[in-house]
Structure 1
Amino acid sequence: MKIHDYLSSEELKRLGSALLVVVCFIFIAGFFAFTVLPGLRYQAHTTPDAPIQAVQGETGWLDPTDYPATARQVIPPIDPATVMTPNPALMARGKAVYAQTCATCHGVDGKGDGPGGAGLTPKPRNFTVKAAWKNGTRVEDIYKTLEEGIKGSSMVSYAYLSKKDRMALAHVVQSLGAYDHGTSDPKAIAALEKLFASAGEVIPNRIPVSRAVDLLCREYESARAEAKPAAPVQR
């Protein structure tokens, strides 16, 4: 026996339409659960008298505020000498990236007192104190944290930033603590130098969450309209 023996073609169309609606609903719910909600938790416990001022910048999908879309970039290999040690241009770029992506939670001065971190557990790292750093305070350790994030915390991966921006940010984060950060591992430094010199990178297109949701809703409505059964012909 086949399903056509039990259902007419019209009933099959209605069943298919219903299934499409359910699948689209599950997809949209999953999108909100895994992308929108993680960003919203950064704002959940902020107080009305301490609003987070949105700024223009280069950000990714999980940021709690909406920024302009950024186009795909193809970045060639970088001279390690321009990024492995701080220089004015690199530090200026790092401070701009810090203000755009870190200050909301870690605070302007890196003390872990930003308004977006008020309700987070564990609290954002206080960069001015050496104790309890998960990966360490050397520049290669900070770069690793920016690349991988820290599991079990609100510190997500910032791998969507270019390698140069991550290194600039690592230098700025390190500069916020006036203490001995330790001697870098020569092997780790050599590996980073090789990474910068030997491989370029492609930064993909990125769009803010609001635009992604809008596109999903439009696609859903379009698919729903196409799945509607044709009106019966009046005889």
Structure 2
Amino acid sequence: MKINDYLSHEELKRLISALLVVLGFISIAAFFGFTVVPGLRYQAYTTGESQVQAVQGETGWLDPTEYPVMAKEVIPPIDPKTVMTPNPALMARGKALFAQNCATCHGPEGLGDGAAGKGLTPHPRNFTANAGWKNGTKLEDIYKTLDEGIKGSSMVSYNYLPKKDRMALAHVVQSLGAFDHGASDPKALANLEKLFASAGEVIPNRIPVSRAVTVLCREYAEAHPQPTATTLR
């Protein structure tokens, strides 16, 4: 017996079309689950200096947290003097960003005891302890971690945040530990200063994951219309 013995040609065409649509939706969901969602793990940058919108839901690896819509923003070069040394405004911004982006895993005091970090391997870094820091504890080391993330862990890159915000976070992270973080490398600091002063940034448009999925599904459906009873006659 063959499938043709059970289904007419028209019914078979309709079944194949429906199957292709389902497979398309599964492919889109898989794409977002393994590529897009990790990059949107943390709350996107907002324009206020210290006011940061709270994350809607716990942030974690492959957690499709809904983030607000962000318009494209062009940021000019920054005077290194305003970010290389801690100042009240920079620290206030960094603390707001830490509470929003880091505390869920690292804990509000940086002890590595955040609720979202309990099931992570390796365990989130305890910023108050001078041990086990992957890239080091100096300012340039912390900035590198925020910029690149750490492979093999749930510590993803924060390079979607403006450089000024990443430096604000680096100062706050360093301030959580009372131990000696070591003297910075003058050459590394000079490179950071050059990075801030030489080039501006373009922060791209961002939309929530659910909206992106809806748009992609609509576009796929429009490009692959499902046959109707009328078209099959």
Per-residue deviation, residues 34-67 of structure 1 (Å, max 9, x unmatched): 3448989x9xxxxxxxxxxx9259x9x9665323
RMSD (Å) for aligned C-alpha atoms: 3.2
State the Cα distance separating 1:31 from its structure 2 match.
1.8
Q: How is 1:64-213 mapped onto 2 (pairs within 5 angstroms)?
A: 65-213=65-213
Write the distance in 2 (CA, Å) between the matches of 1:124 and 1:201: 29
1:231 matched to 2:230? The reply is: yes
Residue 230 of structure 2 aligns to a residue whose secondary structure is coil
Tell me the distance in 1 between the aligned counterparts of 2:63 and 2:85: 29
Between stretches 191-200 and 25-34, larger displacement belongs to 25-34
What are the ranges of 5 or more consecutive residues in structure 2 without an aligned counterpart? 1-8, 43-52
Per the TM alignment, residue 28 of structure 1 is displaced from its structure 2 partner at its CA by 2.5
CA–CA distance in 1 between the matches of 2:160 and 2:87?
A: 23
The answer as to 2:83 corresponding to 1:55 is no
**Cα distance change on mapping 1:232 and 1:138 into 2, 3 Å:** closer
Pairing 1:34–2:35 present: yes
Q: What TM-score does the superposition give when structure 2 sets the normalisation length?
A: 0.79
Say whether the 8 Å CA contact 2:17–2:227 is kept in structure 1.
Answer: no
Q: 1:27 to 1:153 in 2, by over 3 A?
A: same
Which structure 1 residue ranges, 5 or more long, are not aligned? 1-7, 43-53
1:133 aligned counterpart, secondary structure: coil
Q: 1:59-97 CA deviation, whole Å, 9 max, x = no partner?
A: 9x9665323111111000000000001000000000111
Secondary structure at the counterpart of residue 123 of structure 1:
coil
CA distance in 2, matches of 1:23, 1:184: 51
User: SS of 2:202's equivalent?
Assistant: strand
- Cα distance in 2 for residues equivalent to 1:128 and 1:107: 11
Q: How many residues align?
A: 212
Mapped pair 1:22 → 2:28: no
SS of 1:74 mapped into structure 2: strand
